[in-house]
Amino acid sequence: MKNTFSGSIMFVLITTCILWINCSDDKSVDSSDNVDNTDFVAEESFSFGGDIKNHSQLRLEAINGNVTITGISESDSVIITGEKRVGSESTEDAEEHLQELEVSVQDLGNEVFVKTIQPEETYGRSYTVNYTITLPKNLTVLANNVNGTVTIDSINNTVSVDNVNGQVMLDEISGGVSVNLVNGLTQSEVILPLDGTIGMTTVNGSIELGIPQNTSAEFSARVTNGNISVSNLVLQNEVSTPNSLRGTLGGGQGTISLSTVNGNIRVTGF
């Protein structure tokens, strides 16, 4: 495990365990060759924590795995837990390559930077890191992932998510939101501040957004193959086409921009 959380924050490993799961006959494999399957899994859990009362942002760069980030009231600490997993065709090979799968955490002044580090070439092995993170709810959160669900809950600041394959689930967000997704559903409940921005785009998947009835924003939504619906909200100066809808909510101070290629857009007031 790479210990790079330095500076004023102590990055402490709390627990570590390794589990071997044997699903088929054992085989030996040269690490430079492609493996035939991922029936054998090596797993290691991790848990790190630190005081971040002088920090304003958490940035995560994940690759494969699920991410859950939750804001906590009256907290000055970040707790990062999860599991690292490598799947290969033998116990020995999975164990060897588990050592190449790392979680790096750095203190960059006002930012905590968490990153998955794995070999660029997998040779057919599966590398997975699942994250569960709790942190002060007033921090900005930036989360990048490739494959897996990203869930962020109870943040009173800006939230930005880039994901390729998997759902993006945002709940009780009070701040601006940016979501860029290729394949998957985006489901969010957001309280948009005055002059704030919600921007959500996906290629293959629907967008479901809940916002307060008194939200003030210029609204626009666009689909290529799908439907757009707005309910329990008053949209003024409405202009609609078969593939787009725009108008004004309240005084129009903020901005809401939603788009998908293949999927539906549903916006609901609460």
Are residue 5 and residue 130 in the same domain, yes or no? yes
Residue 36's domain comprises 1-136
pTM: 0.87
In this predicted structure, the answer to whether residue 24 has a pLDDT above a threshold of 70 is no
Handedness of CA 105, 133, 266, 203 (dihedral sign): positive
pLDDT, averaged across the chain = 90
Are residue 79 and residue 198 in the same domain, yes or no? no
The C-alpha atoms of residue 15 and residue 173 are separated, in whole angstroms, by: 31
What pLDDT digit, counting tens, does each position of 204-224 carry? Answer: 999 999 999 999 999 999 999
What pLDDT digit, counting tens, does each position of 98-142 carry? Answer: 999 999 999 998 999 999 999 999 999 999 999 999 999 999 999
In this predicted structure, the answer to whether residue 157 has a pLDDT above a threshold of 80 is yes
pLDDT on residue 82? 97
Are residue 201 and residue 114 in the same domain, yes or no? no
Last residue of one domain, picked from the residues 74, 101, 136: 136
Strands ordered across the beta sheet of 18-21: 18-21, 40-51, 77-88, 126-136, 67-72, 150-155, 168-174, 186-191, 207-211, 265-269, 228-231
**Longest Cα pair distance anywhere in the chain, in angstroms?**
68
Are residue 116 and residue 197 in the same domain, yes or no? no
pLDDT on residue 33? 72
Predicted confidence band at 268 (pLDDT cuts at 50, 70, 90)?
very high
Are residue 122 and residue 234 in the same domain, yes or no? no
Are residue 20 and residue 124 in the same domain, yes or no? yes
The total domain count for the chain is 2
Residue 200 lies in a domain: yes
Residue 83 lies in a domain: yes
